[in-house]
Amino acid sequence: MTLISQDITKAADFLNREEIIAIPTETVYGLAGNIYSEKAIKSVFEMKKRPLFNPLIVHIHDIAQLEELAEELPEKAKVLAAAFWPGPLTMILPKKENVPDLITAGHRTVAVRMPNHPVTLELLRSLKFPLAAPSANPFGCISPTTAFHVADYFHGELPMVLEGGPCEKGIESTIIGFEGDEVVLYRLGTISVEAIENVIGKVHIKNKKEDAPEAPGMLERHYAPQTPTFLENDINAAIAKFPGKRIGLLLFKERTDKAVSYQCVLSANGNLHEAAQKLYATLHQMDKMDLDVIIAERFPGVGLGKTINDRLERAAKS
Ligand code: TXA
Ligand code: MG
C-alpha cells in the first residue's frame, strides 16, 4: 500500500531511513531521496527504470546550501536565483567534490533548484540533506501532477506520497546552464524563454538532443501516453485521417463540431498558463479512455506555448 498523506514528519522519517517517497512541487511531483544515500538514490533510478547516465536535480530550500553543492555561482546565476527562486528554474552549476557521481551521472556539473511549494519547503527545512528528485513517473511516461497519478504509477512499491494538492504549474522546471559567458536553455519549462530573457538578456536554446550532449535527458520520445498521439496544425484535416476510430482531441481554445469520442479544451479563454497546468492531467485522463488515437492541436509558438508544443512533440514521437 502506498500511503498518501500530508504528514511531513512521517515523510522525513522515511527519508532519514534512506527510503524514497514522492514529494509535491509547483511543477510536477518528484520521486525524492537523500542525495548522500547511495541506497536511496539507487532506489530512485530503479523505481523509475531510469538509465544511470541521466542525472538528477537536487532540491534545496535555502540559497546558502549552494555552498555544499556548487564550486562557484556565476554572476548571472545569482541574478536568476534572485528573480526566480523559489520557483520552477533549475540551474546547472559546476559541482563540488562531495556531490555523489550517482546524482550527476559522472558529469562535472550539478542541477539545482529551489521548488516553490510550501509543503516541500517545510520538509526540506526539516532535513539535514538536500533531496534529489526526478519527476515521479516511470521513464518516458507522462509526468504526475497529482498524488493520485504517482500512486497509480507505483502502486505498492512506494511507501508514501506526500500530498500537496494538484501542481500549480503542471509542467517541469526550465533548465538553464552557463557556457562561458553564454546563458544556455537546455529544457523549455514553466518559465518562458521571454521571462528569462527579460531578466538576463539573450539565451541560447539547446533544447534538442543533438544540440546538447551535456543535457542527456532531452529524449526525443518522452512525456508519452500509451495511446498513439499526434500533434497537428489542422485538427479537422487530422480527424479525417482516422475514419471509424475512437478519437480524443486535446484542444487549446475551441471545440470542433466534428463527431469524435472525446474532446477537451484546455483553456476556453486562451490562457497558456491554464493550458499548461491542465496538460498532463488531461493526457493522463485521456490515456485511460480506451481511445485509438489522441490528436493534439499545436499551440501558438510564444511564451508557454513553446513549452507545451515541446512536450506534445515528444509525446507524439513514435
Ligand atoms: O520540475 C522539475 O524540474 C521536476 C520537479 C520534480 O522538480 N523534476 C524533473 O526532473 O523534471 P527530471 O529528472 O524528470 O528531469 C531532470 C532533467 C533531465 O533531463 C536531466 O538530464 C537534466 O535535468 N539534468 C540533471 N542534471 C543535469 C546536469 N548536471 N547537466 C545537464 N542536465 C542535467
Ligand atoms: Mg522527467
* Residue range 239-249, pLDDT digits in tens: 999 999 999 99
- Please give the distance, rounded to the nearest whole angstrom, from the Cα atom of residue 140 to the centre of ligand 1: 13
Q: How far apart are CA 276 and CA 304, in angstroms?
A: 7
pLDDT at res. 260: 97
Q: Is the separation of the CB atoms in 229 and 313 below 8 Å?
A: no
Q: Which of 135, 161, 169, 191 to mutate to test the pocket of ligand 1 (most atoms within 8 A of CB)?
A: 135
The ligand with the least distance to the CA atom of 106 is 1
Which residue owns the Cα nearest ligand 1 atom 3? 173
- With b for 16 or more beta-carbon neighbours within 10 A and e for fewer, the 237-256 pattern comes to ebbeeeeeeebbbbbbeeee
Whole-number Å distance, alpha carbon 57 to ligand 1 midpoint, is 5
pTM for the full predicted model:
0.96
Asked if omega into 86 is within 30° of 0 (cis), the reply is: yes
The residue to mutate among 175, 219, 307, having the most atoms of ligand 1 within 8 angstroms of its beta carbon, is 175
Can you list the residues of the chain whose pLDDT is less than 70? 210-217
d(CA 41, CA 102): 7
Cα 217 to ligand 1 centroid, rounded to whole Å: 7
Q: What does the block give as the cell for 155? A: 502502486
pLDDT of residue 318: 78
Tell me how far apart the alpha carbons of residues 174 and 87 are, in angstroms, rounded to a whole number: 10
Rounded CA-CA distance 299/150 in Å is: 27
What count of other Cβ atoms lies within 10 Å of the Cβ of residue 287?
A: 18
Distance (Å) from CA 87 to ligand 2 centroid: 17
CB-facing half-sphere around the CA of 205: CA atoms within 13 A: 14
Ligand lying closest to the C-alpha of residue 109? 1
Q: Which bound ligand lies closest to the C-alpha atom of 92?
A: 1
* Closest ligand to Cα 29: 1
Instruction: For residue 268, give the C-alpha cell.
Output: 476556453
Measured in whole angstroms, the distance separating CA 215 from the mean position of its chain's CA atoms is: 14
Cα-to-centroid distance, 79 and ligand 1 (Å)? 21
Instruction: Give the pLDDT of residue 174.
Output: 98
Cβ pair 72, 55 in contact under 8 A? no
pLDDT at 148: 97
Q: Does any ligand 1 atom lie closer than 6 A to the CB of residue 110?
A: yes
Query: Sheet holding 247-251: strands in order across?
Result: 229-232, 293-297, 247-251, 262-265
Question: Quick check: helix, strand or coil at residue 254?
Answer: coil
